[in-house]
Chain A
Amino acid sequence: MGLLDSEIGKRRLLSIELPVIERYNDGRDALFKIQVLRVGSSLIMKYRLKPGHNIFQLETRLLSSYPTVPPETRVLTPLKHCPHLLEGQSLCLWRQGSTRMTSRWDPARFTCIFAVQAAWRWLACYEVWHETGEWPLPEAK
């Protein structure tokens, strides 16, 4: 019973997730559009972000249990080891029970594009960290 094999999952995709991806892509330079691939019971969004001076290639995976379980995002472009970076260059974006609203995944309010925005924010922090050695956002509690 998942995103791609249940009625509830398919309706979520058709009425919420895929339309917001189409809106995100609308009018955007082809290099920065989101491409969506079906891999097994998951969907993978492949895209590029340019938060500052550099272009990063990323993929966000919507697992079968999405949206109950938050999307997983990893950067494909090699990064220096830094704070909030998990194994496989996955980004630490969500923390259950966090006092910061944007750090708590909420399937009733967020779409997969929120994950893209969160990744953009993370990469902007990374670029600052890369130059200064300091992560500009306080740690989510």
Chain B
Amino acid sequence: MAHLVQVGAGSGGMPVLDMVAHDPRITRITLIEPDIYQPHNVVRHLFPRQAVGEYKAVLAQKWLQERRCDLQVRSLVRDLLDPAIQDELHRVLMETDIAVCAADNEPAKFHWDHLMRRHRIPWTLGEVLSGGIGGFVHWFVPDGPCYGCVAGFLQRTVEVEKAKAPDYSQPGGPEAATTVPATKASIQAVASLHALVTLRLLQEGSAYQPGFTSLLLTLERVPDVFEEAFRTYRFRVPRADDCLICRPGLTRVPADSSPEELDVALDQALARLGNE
């Protein structure tokens, strides 16, 4: 009996959700996804072409309930960063056992990390690299390294993102690396790993020790980036002592400060520095 909360039901998030939701231990799912299913999504997504124009969260809810009628599914058609959703999100997260991040932008990942640490929820994150040349799966637990620790560590120690971001607006353009988006197969390969790690983390909780905190699977040989395809790199990212995101004892303001107290403190600090 576990409640899973996931953000993102795009081409990478939906297969993770599908695989994880087939596990009988998951009995309740809350999905956060604001986007509408677009024609250009069809080639990489689980949903059919006829579904174009509908909200992905609603489609995902239908998809899951068609496969498991006993599953309690709730979809929130909202942007994770929308201030109006935050109170509701906090209520949902108070009853959450495990979470999945399939967001594709950094502000959302950092915000998700903040929410997870605040509610002490174990969570996983999957990332398909540009062009589908490989992908990462990361897992996080309370008091472990945060997303900032991981992103900073990986930027400093490996070079895996030399390939430019795909330009979906120019299919067939001159540069293959910028015009060939990840294939459905490469997305599903990373999604499968992501689902496996999520289910093991659910099962083992704080005892989970797979020998990595971040796993990189290469799917293609790319000169100057990956020497060979289908190779795994296992990273044991430590919690950074100097991390500005999660360092304990960092905050000068009490953890239980009310929104009003934060506003007053901020106004006073800005006034000291020449504002207003």
Assign chain A's interface to a size class. Answer: 35 or more
Q: Give residues 148-186 of B contacting A (CB, 8 Å).
A: 148-149, 151-152, 155-156, 159, 161-162
Interface 9-residue window, one of B13-21, B196-204, B260-268: B260-268
Is A136 at the interface (CB under 8 A from chain B)?
no
A10 to B255, CA, bound (A): 12
Which residue of A10, A22, A37 is within 8 Å of B262 (Cβ)? A10
B residues contacting the other copy or chain, number (CB 8 A): 41
Inter-chain contacts of A38 with B (CB < 8 A): 270, 275-276
Is A83 at the interface (CB under 8 A from chain B)?
no
A14 to B254, CA, bound (A): 11
- Residue pair B152, A18 in contact (C-beta under 8 Å): no
Contact with B along A44-64 (1 / 0, CB 8 A): 000000000000000000000
- Residue pair B244, A16 in contact (C-beta under 8 Å): yes
A97 to B161, CA, bound (A): 6
Given contacts A37-B274, A109-B242, contact A7 B269 (CB under 8 A): no
8 nearest A-B residue pairs (beta carbon): A108-B148, A35-B274, A1-B81, A36-B273, A15-B251, A108-B152, A18-B269, A68-B107
Query: A residues engaging B (CB < 8 A)?
Result: 1, 4-8, 10-16, 18-19, 21-22, 25, 34-38, 43, 65, 67-69, 96-97, 99, 101, 104, 106-111
